[in-house]
Amino acid sequence: MSKTVTLTIDGKQVTVPEGTLIVDAAKKIGVDIPVFCYHPKMQPVGMCRMCLVEVGRPVVDRATGQVVKNEDGTPQIRFAPNLMTACTTPVSEGMVVLTESEKAHDGHRAIIEFLLTSHPLDCPICDKGGECPLQELTMRHGPPQGRFPYEDKIHFEKHFPLGELIYLDRERCILCGRCIRYQAEIVGEPVIGFYQRGRATEIVTYSDPGFDSYFSGNTTDICPVGALTTADFRFGARAWELKAEASICAQCPVGCNIVFNTRREAKSGGRVVIKRVMPRQNEEVNELWICDKGRFVHHYTHSAERLSRPLMRKGETLQPVSWEDALRTAAEKFEAAGKEVLVLASGRLSNEDLFNLKALADGLGGRAVLYGDMGGGDLTTLVGVGQGTNLATLGAGDAILVIASDLQEEAPIWWLRVKQAAERGATLIVANPRATKLDTYASFVIRYANGDEVQTVLNLAKKTDKIGQAFAEAENAVVFFGSEGLGLEGSQRLAVACAHLLRETGHVGKPNNGLIGVWQRANDQGAWELGFEPVADLQAAFEQAGAVYIVGADPFGDGRLTLDGVKERPFLVVQEILPTPTTEVADLVLPAQAYAEREGTYVSGERRVQRFYAALPPYGEARPDFAITAAIGKRLGLDLEDGSAEKVFERLAVTQPAFENLTYARLAEVREQWPIVGRGDLYYGGTAYENRRGLGVQLVPAAQREEPVTLPEVQGEAGPRPEEDEWLGVPVTRLLDRGTTVLLSTLLHRRIGEPFVVVHPMAAERLSLAEGQKARLTVNGASAEVTVRVDETVSAGVVLVPRSMGLPLYEPMKVSLKAL
Ligand code: SF4
Ligand code: SF4
Ligand code: FES
């Protein structure tokens, strides 16, 4: 156990580990020492001097080394002549700290007055107004009147775009450096910095495009003034007009805890709309951070294009019908199809939705299929990370393997947490056919040829080299496997190989050990847990079905399904929130509520079941997915729950062993986290929200339940290799893609860009192409215009094709690329 020291702060005694800073020790006993530059996630720098306190230490007799006592037996305390910064001074035994003395207050007043010599009087028009540490501390500690002539205040250009997402108001900046240190220390992307000196100092961006980082929005939360604002929210609403409701980000498998800030407003036709998305603290998931995709992709929820009424095909067009007609028709068609019903659902749906959909398919004797092209979920249910796993506790002596995944593009907050684990000393092994940003932090980088994924894992399992030995000897080991360069079959094979590696090295069935799938959707893991699996030939499954029920997926838009050449098309029911190419070809369209409009749960890639809550009223006549499915099921005589998401979850928990004993109440439990945010003060975590609505519960994998685990046999190669004189197109994932919901956030369009492919410079030369040039990519008979990018780490003979960019490539296959 680490040594502790006991000290007194404002008359209250506190015992904390040696080395704790005064500011943190005070926080633990409810004393909020004012800070600006200090942030508990970053190294202290003592730049702003706001945290000045009086510090006294026991007087020690030099001759005896004993503490000198007063007459009453209490230790004599000698106070330092000057105030000290609580954010840089560690505690010591017997220390006495005064934060509310007159001298300390004088210090606070002087610092506030000094800051206000430059700061404009913007509060009435400032986005931070109402939740601003400077405003609040000025009210608490500032002088009643400024002595500095207003005309002498420094004036800078206001509303300066650091990038298209983040704006800087230079006059408001108090030069605390939090934003710069966040980018440098936490993200490792120092794309902003100080420029000039003295009163002329300002923040500038060094990157092109400006502020080029997927984590830029977090700086607006931790900026203690209104200097940094997002282009999305600035001038959008006042803080006190906003309501807050807890949710989970649905954009990737990390499952970041978030808050939707909403407001009813005239310009949105009197509707309640999401005004901004903020992080909600969960130290085991996302700490205090979210990525820019999670922050800015919310505009689809109030899109005027939303489906608001059931629609039925009459001739060539879809016509509005009543819910009763729609549900009756769906039930009749499903009943007629019986065993030939195909339910195709995506991991965009909640567990409750998927549970009812599976029950409907099972009740009819039909088939429930997961929409996606990544396999391995059966393995994560067996040897996935165990309960008690927390990436923040991985460090020296532990190992992490990331294979076939570009974590920053696929799950940005995992990228951040894996990077931090490596910085704490964990052995990070990054295996990928090309360079990714995680390589910088890796102890070992393995560059394999496409098709060698399985062999790469088998080589590690042999433990014949220092990489394999480091993995095998690690106290704890986690494997992140993805689907970069792979399709369904290849990723399944890779997952099997990873599962064997983990088991053979004794890294399953305990906390901080096991397999994690870098899924393409937020609840893919939940879908696998509930028995959904993808199929290899989706088109064949579609054509063989008598009726198809597609929920939360756009296979026609993605080019996964086509009606071309289909002789007898099945009756097609599509349940969606927005019109898509799939709804366009549907016979019946059922409008679903966006997840922000209803309750439910997701299972994150780390197998944590987390609750989300209704932040918005329903749109039009849209209903929750689970309720629509239950209503159809009831018409078929099936006993499906439609009362509430909680009631569906109750059924789910008694039928699914992994969910045993889970309830909505358990998922909503919270406990105190460090750092402490919220509690009415804004100084620490910025405007991140305190978690009052649940930290979630991790599922117990079969290996941790000590059930016998039978793994499938490892099979040969994961995918094809490039052939001589051919180009092998391989899919990769990008964070900002051209998905229907993403594209409705116009702010992101510049970052999303046009469809592109990436090739090796030599390949570009062979094809007579250059960086930035337009070319035509042909895949499987379909073709699209793309921009060419070059990357010398990409294998020759391989063309990287991003998913969801309008290019129908889901597994490695031959492509052609021609200059336009
Ligand atoms: S922009 Fe904000 S966070 Fe950055 S240095 Fe200025 S006040 Fe601090
Ligand atoms: S890391 Fe994933 S879950 Fe977290 S905010 Fe970004 S997209 Fe959402
Ligand atoms: S010097 Fe302590 S908070 Fe800035």
143, 146, 148, 151 alpha-carbon torsion, rounded to 10°: 150
Position with higher pLDDT, 820 vs 100 = 100
Whole-number Å distance, alpha carbon 165 to ligand 2 midpoint, is 17
Domains of the chain, first to last? 4-150 (3.10.20.740), 153-302 (3.30.70.20), 311-371+528-664 (3.40.50.740), 377-521 (3.40.228.10), 727-819 (2.40.40.20)
- The CB of 249 under 6 Å from ligand 2? The reply is yes
Q: Which residues, including other chains, have CB under 8 Å from residue 258's CB and lie 6 or more apart?
A: 246, 247, 248, 249, 277, 278, 279, 280, 290, 294
Structure confidence at residue 781 as a pLDDT band (50, 70, 90): confident
Whole-number Å distance, alpha carbon 205 to ligand 1 midpoint, is 13
581, 584, 587, 589 alpha-carbon torsion, rounded to 10°: 90
> Residue 685 has what pLDDT?
60
**Tell me: the pLDDT tens digits for 159-205?**
899 999 999 999 999 999 999 999 999 999 999 999 999 888 999 99
CA distance 426 to 396: 5
Q: What is the DSSP string of 217-286?
A: HHHHHH-SSTTEEETTTTTS--GGG-EEEEEE--SSTT--EEEEEEEEEGGGTTEEEEEEEEEB-BTTTT
> Residue 149 has what pLDDT?
84
> Residue 724 has what pLDDT?
83
State the closest ligand 1 atom to the C-alpha of 194, by its place in the atom list counted from 1: 5
Residues paired with residue 74 on neighbouring β-strands, in sequence order? none
- Give one word for 754, left, alpha or beta, with left for phi > 0 and alpha for psi -120 to 50: beta
**Tell me: the pLDDT tens digits for 619-657?**
999 999 999 999 999 999 999 999 999 999 999 999 999
Q: Which residues, including other chains, have CB under 8 Å from residue 251's CB and lie 6 or more apart?
A: 293, 294, 297, 522
- The CB of 477 under 6 Å from ligand 2? The reply is no
Whole-number Å distance, alpha carbon 123 to ligand 2 midpoint, is 31
Q: What are phi and psi of 633, to 5 degrees?
A: -60, -40
Substitution site in 24, 33, 49 for ligand 3 pocket (most atoms within 8 Å of beta carbon): 49
As a whole number, the mean pLDDT across the chain is 95
Whole-number Å distance, alpha carbon 47 to ligand 3 midpoint, is 6
8 Å CB contact between 603 and 348: no
**Tell me: the pLDDT tens digits for 304-352?**
999 999 999 999 999 999 999 999 999 999 999 999 999 999 999 999 9
CA distance 767 to 93: 71
CA distance 653 to 661: 7
Residue 57 pLDDT exceeds 80: yes
Residue 227 pLDDT exceeds 90: yes
Residue 153 pLDDT exceeds 90: no
Relative to the alpha carbon of 211, which ligand is closest?
1
**Tell me: the pLDDT tens digits for 257-288?**
999 999 999 988 899 999 999 999 999 999 99
Parallel, antiparallel or unpaired: strands 727-732 and 813-819: antiparallel
> Residue 680 has what pLDDT?
67
State the closest ligand 3 atom to the C-alpha of 44, by its place in the atom list counted from 1: 2
> Residue 411 has what pLDDT?
98
Residue 549 pLDDT exceeds 70: yes
Pocket of ligand 3 (CB under 6 A): 35-38, 46-51, 85, 87
Structure confidence at residue 527 as a pLDDT band (50, 70, 90): very high
Supply 682's token pair. 């804004």
> Residue 1 has what pLDDT?
60
Whole-number Å distance, alpha carbon 202 to ligand 1 midpoint, is 9
Q: Which helix (H) or strand (E) holds 43?
A: none
CA distance 374 to 351: 19
Structure confidence at residue 682 as a pLDDT band (50, 70, 90): low
- The CB of 416 under 6 Å from ligand 2? The reply is no
For 446, other C-beta atoms within 10 Å of its C-beta total: 19
> Residue 633 has what pLDDT?
98
Structure confidence at residue 681 as a pLDDT band (50, 70, 90): low
Whole-number Å distance, alpha carbon 296 to ligand 1 midpoint, is 21
CA distance 185 to 207: 17
Q: What are phi and psi of 64, to 5 degrees?
A: -100, -20
Whole-number Å distance, alpha carbon 790 to ligand 3 midpoint, is 45
Residue that the structure tokens 């209903």 belong to: 623
Structure confidence at residue 719 as a pLDDT band (50, 70, 90): confident
Residue 613 pLDDT exceeds 80: yes
- The CB of 119 under 6 Å from ligand 1? The reply is no
> Residue 807 has what pLDDT?
79
Residue 683 pLDDT exceeds 90: no
Structure confidence at residue 76 as a pLDDT band (50, 70, 90): very high
- CA-atom Rg of the chain in angstroms: 29
3-state DSSP call for residue 18? coil
